[in-house]
Chains A and B, each alone.
Chain A
Amino acid sequence: MKKEYQESVKKVIDRFPERKKEFLSGSSEKIERLYTPDDTQAIDFETEIGYPGLFPYTRGVQPTMYRGRFWTMRQYAGFGNAEESNRRYKYLLEQGQTGLSIAFDLCTQIGLDSDDPMSVGEVGKVGVAIDSLADMETLFDGIPLDKVSTSMTINAPAAILLAMYIAVAEKQGVSRKQLKGTIQNDILKEYMARGTYIFPPEPSMRLITNTFQYCSENIPGWNTISVSGYHIREAGSSAVQEIAFTIADGIAYIESAIKAGLDVNSFAPRISFFFNAHNDLFEEIAKFRAARKLWAYIMKERFGVKSPKSMKLRFHTQTGGSTLTAQQPDNNIVRVAIQTLAAVLGGTQSLHTNSRDEALSLPTEDSVRIALRTQQIVANESGVANTIDPLAGSYFVESLTKKMESEAKQYIKKIDEMGGMVHAIEMGYPQKQIQESSYNYQKQIEKGERIIVGVNKFTIEKEVPKDLLKIDEDVERGQLTKLAELKKNRNSNKVKESLEKIRETARSNKNMMPVFLEAVKNYITLGEICGVLREEFGEYTEG
């Protein structure tokens, strides 16, 4: 670095010390005082940065990005019962939301019916309760499935919920070719970070592979998995760990599908990703850019894919739930705005902005609207969507992108050495890494080394927020009545037959999707189907 500058810095620091001895990013990476061309001279423009829409896609997956069309504004919503959630979806679509994102309650996510003893107290709480196709029909009543794209946060029973979605579309007269959407369907991060697993890894991976195959043959517009770093970050990982573990998960799914005999070129284009956006703006932007580059090189060099479609890392982003504070909840609007910028400057294809009151309860309609408006303001007023990847070439952003890429590579190498992500998880490796980061982060906050406005600095006497959304306990009762009636009115022979077929198929190595589809059409419940699979596959418990 220029000697003159170093000397002048020294003089200044001698008189006025800097605010801190060491400056750290949101995930504790050391940040230098200044970045200069020295930091980027080893980065080759053509092979490492390049052009948007071209390999290695560091600058984005499309040649025009948001100049063509904004990202999909997709608020995650769902609560109570299917009727109520249906009303919220219609409201959000009227407000200009461009895609649906369905939140299911925990019972549904764990494959339990609302009348299961384990479901007590949970029905309809963090999402909508779906027991059978009847609920799904209500959920999408009056919403044309050929017009909207739907993202479903469902993992362990993803194949079954997808079958219900296909069945609803059929009833609406919408062909499979027209369906657009995403199922999260990412089980590895459940073992690692989120906990809504049902079956052990091996049969879980099979269900995912079955979905890849079925969709590549039947629903070409469907994203068959959303490999999710979001929850890894929420569990406390660093930004580098978020992309490293997510990409290692992606590698595991590809390897598992190849092992099952699928051609990587047939399913790779439908793999999508899901990341978190935290507050440290530049680190987050660099993270997205690094992730895209990493994936492109892995697909090309490791898996030898030919089509650019298979090399492009397309992702949805959600602003960081764990960054929101219960104290002074309105401050969260500002956090979400910064995180929105990070996602957009990082080139996201779709975005969910969290609502200000989410550290307290599910969001109210007002809070969701503010969160959606935040995206709309960034899109329409800020000007950041007018040019592609405007921070490319920034000494800081490029060197940070490079650094995160190489650190992530080291994690991926380590996981490869452990025999892949499934083994690494069984050995508890990523879990331990995440916990370590999480603990250190929280300690920094508690020691005041990291400022959280309204929590450990600039605090005020506790204000009691009003107007929180409350899920009526009647939802559970209503759902139980509906379910009991459904079970009473079904053809019990068909129920038996369908469940037997599921058992047989589970024991074979055939694709499960067709039997799921038949079963849901016969109004077999999610809990019944998963019950048989639990008997056949076993249940996973944390080691």
Chain B
Amino acid sequence: MSNKVRILIAKPGLDGHDRGAKFISRALRDAGYEVIYTGIRQTPEQIVAAAIQEDVDFLGLSILSGAHNVLFKKITDILNQKKIDDIILFAGGVIPEGDIPGLKSLGFKAIFTPGANSKEIVDFIENEYKNK
């Protein structure tokens, strides 16, 4: 896999629990990708701006607070407004199974819930990048 793949890991909303975001950032770096982590408490606007500025191929959102439906939609709305459709979206966190179809219809390619393995996420990125 080319190490040109760039990934932004972002934490929208107010929750400060970023153990998962930090772990996945490091695991993806270990897998050879370029990873930028935004830190906590980012607004949808800030996240999209960072994704554009860093020219990323993937945007991964991590959230535990339950605000995903609202905040993920805001992020996809802004991306749509800006006509950005070449960033592959994925997410992880405490996200109920029942919300996943809705998030997928917003354009999220994969949702990883607690217990997900970093290998699954690496495989996902490899596959998606190949098919891009």
What are 7 inter-chain pairs, A to B, with CB distance below 8 A? A112-B14, A120-B74, A121-B71, A121-B74, A196-B16, A236-B23, A455-B115
- From A112, A361, A438, B94 is in contact (CB under 8 Å) with A361
A454 and B114 alpha carbons, distance in the complex (Å): 12
Give chain A interface residues in 99-138, CB to chain B under 8 Å. 106-107, 109-110, 112, 117-122, 125-126
Min CB distance, A116 to chain B, in Å? 10
B19 adjacent to A361 (CB under 8 Å): no
Residues of B within 8 A of A455 (CB): 115
Pairs of residues from A and B, 5 with the lowest C-beta to C-beta distance, nearest first: A195-B16, A121-B70, A121-B67, A106-B14, A125-B66
- Cβ contact within 8 Å between B13 and A195: no
Min CB gap A170→B, angstroms: 31
When chains A and B are docked, how far (Å) is the Cα of A327 from the Cα of B116? Answer: 10
Q: Which residues of B contact A91 (CB under 8 A)?
A: none
Interface size grouping (class) on chain B: 20 to 34
B113 adjacent to A326 (CB under 8 Å): yes
The verdict on A391 contacting chain B, using a C-beta distance below 8 Å, is no
Give Cα distance in the complex from A542 to B22, angstroms: 14
Given contacts A118-B43, A234-B17, 10 further A-B pairs with CB under 8 A are: A120-B70, A126-B65, A195-B18, A195-B41, A325-B114, A359-B113, A360-B96, A360-B97, A442-B118, A542-B40
Q: Taking the complex as formed, is A439 at the interface, i.e. its CB lies under 8 A from any CB of chain B?
A: yes
Q: Is the CB of B19 within 8 A of A126?
A: no
CB distance from A439 to the nearest CB of B (A): 6
| B39 contact set on A, CB distance < 8 A | 542
Give per-residue flags for B73-93: 1 if the beta carbon is below 8 A from chain A beta carbons, else 0.
010000000000000000000
- Whether A362 contacts B22 by the Cβ 8 Å rule is no
- Are A446's CB and B117's CB within 8 A? yes
Interface on chain B toward A: helix, strand, loop, or mixed SS?
loop
Q: Which residue of A lies closest to B115 (CB)?
A: A455
Given A326-B115, A359-B94, A473-B70: A435 in contact with B22 (beta carbons within 8 A): yes
Q: Type the 1/0 row for A422-457, where 1 means its CB is closer than 8 Å to any CB of B.
A: 000000000000010011001000100000101110
User: Do A195 and B96 touch (CB < 8 A)?
Assistant: no
Q: Which chain A positions have C-beta within 8 A of B96?
A: 360-361, 468, 470
Known: A118-B43, A122-B67, A438-B19. Contact between A465 and B97, CB under 8 A?
yes
- In the complex, are the beta carbons of A126 and B15 less than 8 A apart? yes
- What are the residues of chain B within 8 A of A112 when measuring CB–CB? 14
The reply to whether B19 and A236 form a contact with Cβ atoms under 8 Å apart is yes
- Contact status A195-B40, CB under 8 Å: yes
**Contact size class for A?**
35 or more
Is B26 in contact with chain A by the CB < 8 A criterion?
A: yes
Question: Which of B15, B26, B117 makes the CB contact (< 8 A) with A195?
Answer: B15
Q: Is the CB of A110 within 8 A of B14?
A: yes
CA distance A104 to B23 in the complex (A): 27
For residue B66, give the distance in angstroms from its CB to the closest CB of chain A: 4
Q: Among A197, A325, A360, which residue has the most Cβ atoms of chain B within 10 A?
A: A360
Whether A464 contacts B97 by the Cβ 8 Å rule is: yes
- A369 CB to nearest B CB, Å: 20
A376–B63 CA distance with the chains assembled, in angstroms: 33
User: Does A174 count as interface, using CB distance less than 8 angstroms?
Assistant: no
Asked if B98 and A468 sit within 8 Å, CB to CB, the answer is yes
Bound-state Cα–Cα, A435 to B21, Å: 11
CA distance A121 to B65 in the complex (A): 9
- Asked if A235 is at the interface of the complex by the 8 Å CB criterion, the answer is yes
Q: Considering only CB atoms, which chain A residue lies closest to B39 in the complex?
A: A542
Bound: A361/B98 CA distance, A: 11
Mark each residue of chain A from 190 to 209: 1 if its CB lies under 8 Å from any CB of chain B, else 0. 10001111000000000000
Interface string of A79-106 (1 = CB under 8 A from B): 0000000000000000000000000001
Q: Report the nearest B residue to A236, measured CB to CB.
A: B19
**Is residue B119 within 8 Å, beta carbon to beta carbon, of the partner chain?**
yes
Chain B residues with CB below 8 A from A464, complex form = 97
Asked if A264 is at the interface (CB within 8 A of a chain B CB), the reply is no
A361 touches B115 (CB 8 A): no
Q: Which residue of B lies closest to A110 (CB)?
A: B14
Chain B residues near A362 (CB, 8 Å)? 66
Alpha-carbon gap, A196 to B18, bound state (A): 12
Given the interface pairs A195-B40, A326-B115, A446-B118, the reply to whether A122 lies near B14 with Cβ below 8 Å is yes
A residues in contact with B18, CB < 8 Å: 195
Question: Closest Cβ of chain B: how far from A188's Cβ, in Å?
Answer: 14
Chain B 38-70 residues near chain A, CB threshold 8 A: 39-41, 43, 65-67, 69-70
A322 within 8 A of partner (CB): yes
Q: Is there contact, CB below 8 Å, between B66 and A471?
A: yes
Residue of B nearest to A441 (CB): B23
Q: How far is the CB of A540 from chain B (nearest CB, A)?
A: 11
- Complex alpha-carbon distance, A197 and B114, angstroms: 25
Q: CB distance B13 to A322 under 8 Å?
A: no
A439 adjacent to B23 (CB under 8 Å)? yes
